Amino acid sequence: MSSSYRKSNMRRVASLLLGGVLAALYVLPRPVPAQEITFIPFGNATGEWDSNRQLSRPPSAAASYGGLVGGDLRDYGPRSFMDLTAAISYNDVPHFNYDWFTGNAAFKSDFRTLDADYTLLASYRRDSTFVTEFGQANYNNSLTLTSPDTVSTSNVTTGITRESYEIDPGFDYNFTPRLDLEGDFRVNSVHYNTQFIGQRVNYVSPYAGFTLNYDLSQRSSVGIGPYYSRYDETGSVTSTVDGLKTAESGSTQTGGGAFIYNYKTTDITHLSLIMRVERDHIEEAGFLTQDVTSWGVELVGTHKYQLGNVQFSIGRFLEPSSVGGRVALNEFRAQLNRPLSARLSFTGALRVSDIETIGNFLASLEPPEHRTNAEMWLTYNITKKWYVTGGYIFVRSRDLGQDNLAYSNGVMLTFGYRGLEPPRPAALGP
């Protein structure tokens, strides 16, 4: 945003607007249980202080405030559901004279027949003016219905916008009670209005995979199948070599195979082990074509206790990234959700990541990135709809080309509202 905007009264107006919307949420009508379509509004206001919000060297502390408003539009039936979520957030860091808006939208649907299950996920996000790829440890992001923020770079950048989208259709068709075919398709994209080689690169990456699964028992199954992916840089990235500006672009074609083992005990424990081997054909402007073999192992699961649950993911994940190609994400990630009383609950999350570029010239120019995210919250439900959350946020990162670590310790306080969740039909499960 322009400097005249930052110096205007918009911060004061934005604060009053957020407070007014939160007050208005209180008087909205409650959902009618008999309705098939239910609207669940939500909103919050947050204050935060971080010892090094920009992950800069030397560190610089700053306080910030902001909030968001949005809603879930849901339609549940015995064999299907649809969920549309949208939100707008505002954030301000007065010490650095930064303020920005973020818009999010996500759509998720599931339709079941006697022989098949069809799913669709579509999500969109736009950050204006001030982009913080800070990374996060927790899985609880209602606007990202798959694992959020998997390949964040931890960079903090001002004066640019960032847009991203993802579309994930899929199906699971049962040939027999024990044999089924699963299809997984995906297109995701990231776009910056200003690119920088090795850190902010526009790309589009489609993916298609098929898996033939066989049930070994009521609790376990094995599957095997091929997949294909492509990574294409869009636009051009300008770099300077020996005083001359050059445009860089490239693409990666990937063909691979996956072996999958699933284990599930009713709704208590769900565990998936995926092993991948792929061949990547990489073309980069100004460099020789490369063919490399990559491997990945993914262990993902959930477990429910009598009180609370834990989610985790451990392994080597092969994914597209804005560094300019596919990456190998070596990661441990876990989250514990546990109620402490009828009104008080605890959430703790830890994420340790190491990112390596696969096969292209950036791997020889830039060292791997190491990142740690840790978060802890206590949430107290004032009423069934109103809550207050206090938490601690820790981030540590070794950025691209940096020898010394950057880290930040932060505390936050959130006051928020969320409408009551509708009951889900038993046929859809938890």
305: pLDDT confidence band, cut at 50, 70 and 90?
Answer: confident
363: pLDDT confidence band, cut at 50, 70 and 90?
Answer: low
Q: Could you read off the pLDDT of 178-217 as tens digits, one per residue?
A: 999 999 999 989 888 887 776 778 899 999 999 999 999 9
Residue 6's pLDDT is 41
Q: State the Cα angle at 168 between 126 and 135, rounded to 5°.
A: 45
Rounding to the nearest 10 degrees, give the CA dihedral for residues 106, 185, 127, 134. 110
5-9, 18-22, 108-112: the lowest-pLDDT one: 5-9
DSSP string, 254-321: EEEEEEEEEEEETTTEEEEEEEEEEEEEEEETTS--EEEEEEEEEEEEEEE-SS-EEEEEEEEEEEEE
Residue 3's pLDDT is 39
Q: In this model, does residue 352 exceed pLDDT 80?
A: yes
Q: Could you read off the pLDDT of 250-267 as tens digits, one per residue?
A: 889 999 999 999 998 777
Residue 129's pLDDT is 66
Residue 21's pLDDT is 47
Q: In this model, does residue 242 exceed pLDDT 50?
A: no
Give me the domain span that covers residue 419: 3-428
Residue 8's pLDDT is 45
Residue 236's pLDDT is 60
Q: In this model, does residue 247 exceed pLDDT 80?
A: no
**Rounded mean pLDDT of 328-355?**
92
401: pLDDT confidence band, cut at 50, 70 and 90?
Answer: low
Higher pLDDT, 157 or 318: 318
Asked if residues 90 and 99 have their Cβ atoms less than 8 Å apart, the reply is yes
What's the CATH code of the domain at 34? 2.40.160
Cα–Cα distance, 83 to 73 (Å, whole number): 6
Asked if residues 205 and 231 have their Cβ atoms less than 8 Å apart, the reply is yes
Among 63-77, 156-170, 363-377, the range with the most confident prediction by mean pLDDT is 63-77
Q: Could you read off the pLDDT of 53-79 as tens digits, one per residue?
A: 777 778 889 999 999 999 999 888 888
Q: What percent of the chain shows pLDDT beyond 70?
A: 76
> Mean pLDDT in the chain?
81
DSSP string, 147-173: S--TT----EEES--EEEEEEEEEEEE
Q: What percent of the chain shows pLDDT beyond 90?
A: 41
Structural domain count of the chain = 1
Q: In this model, does residue 93 exceed pLDDT 50?
A: yes
- For the entire predicted model, the pTM comes to 0.80
Q: Could you read off the pLDDT of 94-151 as tens digits, one per residue?
A: 988 888 888 889 899 999 998 999 999 898 988 876 556 666 777 755 444 333 344 5
Residue 156's pLDDT is 60
430: pLDDT confidence band, cut at 50, 70 and 90?
Answer: very low
Residue 81's pLDDT is 85
Q: Which residues contact 244 (CB under 8 A, 6 or more apart)?
A: none
